[in-house]
Amino acid sequence: MSTWGWRSHFYSLVPLGWALQAAGHEVRVASHPSMVTAISSAGLAAVPLGADVDFATAFAGRIGAVAPLGGPATTGAVEPAITADGGVVRFADAVLDELVSFGRSWRPDLILWEPFNLAAPVAAAALGVPGVLNLWGPDSSTTLRLDPDAVVGPLAARFGLAAAEVALDGVLTLDPVPPPMQVPMRRPGRPVRFVPYNGPAVLPPWLRRPADRPRVCVTAGTMMAGAGLDDRLDLVGVIRAVAGLDVEVVVVVEPRQREALGPVPAGVHLADGPLAMRLVLPTCAALVQQGGAGTTMTALAYGVPQLVLPQVSDQHFNGERVAATGAGAWLTREQATGAAVRDLVGELVADGPWRRAAALMRDRVHAMPAPAELVPTLAALAQGRPI
Q: Find the range with the poorest average confidence among 99-103, 272-276, 352-356.
A: 272-276
Q: Which amino acid is at 170?
A: G
In whole angstroms, give the CA distance from residue 6 to residue 106: 24
Tell me what pLDDT residue 292 has.
92
For the cut 70, the answer to whether the pLDDT of residue 362 exceeds it is yes
Give the pLDDT band (50/70/90) at residue 264: confident
Question: Is 105 strand, coil or helix?
Answer: helix
Q: Which amino acid is at 10?
A: F
Tell me what pLDDT residue 114 has.
96
For the cut 50, the answer to whether the pLDDT of residue 354 exceeds it is yes
Tell me what pLDDT residue 79 has.
66
Contact 328, 273 (CB under 8 A): no
Mean pLDDT of the chain: 90
Mean pLDDT of 15-37: 98
Does domain 205-366 fall under CATH 3.40.50.2000? My reply is yes
CB atoms within 10 A of CB 362: 18
Tell me what pLDDT residue 68 has.
47
Q: Which amino acid is at 374?
A: L
- Residue percentage of the chain with pLDDT more than 70: 91
Tell me what pLDDT residue 228 has.
52
Tell me what pLDDT residue 66 has.
44
In whole angstroms, give the CA distance from residue 151 to residue 263: 46
Give the pLDDT band (50/70/90) at residue 183: confident
Mean pLDDT of 157-174: 97
Domain extent listing, the chain: 7-194+368-382, 205-366
In whole angstroms, give the CA distance from residue 34 to residue 24: 27
Which has the closest alpha carbon to 154: 102, 85, 103, 98? 85
Give the pLDDT band (50/70/90) at residue 249: very high
Query: Which residue did the predictor score with more confidence, 45 or 334?
Result: 45
Tell me what pLDDT residue 77 has.
55
pTM here? 0.92
Q: 126: exposed, middle or buried (C-beta count within 10 Å: 0-12, 13-18, 19+)? A: buried
| Per-residue pLDDT tens digits for 46-89 | 999 999 998 777 766 555 544 444 444 454 555 678 888 888 99
Mean pLDDT of 241-251: 95
In whole angstroms, give the CA distance from residue 242 to residue 234: 13
Same fold, 7-194+368-382 and 205-366: yes
In whole angstroms, give the CA distance from residue 353 to residue 46: 44
Give the pLDDT band (50/70/90) at residue 273: low
Mean pLDDT of 367-374: 98
For the cut 70, the answer to whether the pLDDT of residue 261 exceeds it is yes
Which has the closest alpha carbon to 167: 143, 200, 133, 137? 133
Tell me what pLDDT residue 72 has.
47
Residue 236's H or E segment, with its range, is helix 235-243
Vertex 228, ends 135 and 265: CA angle to 5°?
A: 100
Tell me what pLDDT residue 60 has.
60
Q: Find the range with the poorest average confidence among 238-242, 263-267, 297-301, 335-339.
A: 263-267
For domain 7-194+368-382, give the fold: Rossmann fold (3.40.50)
- Residue percentage of the chain with pLDDT more than 90: 71
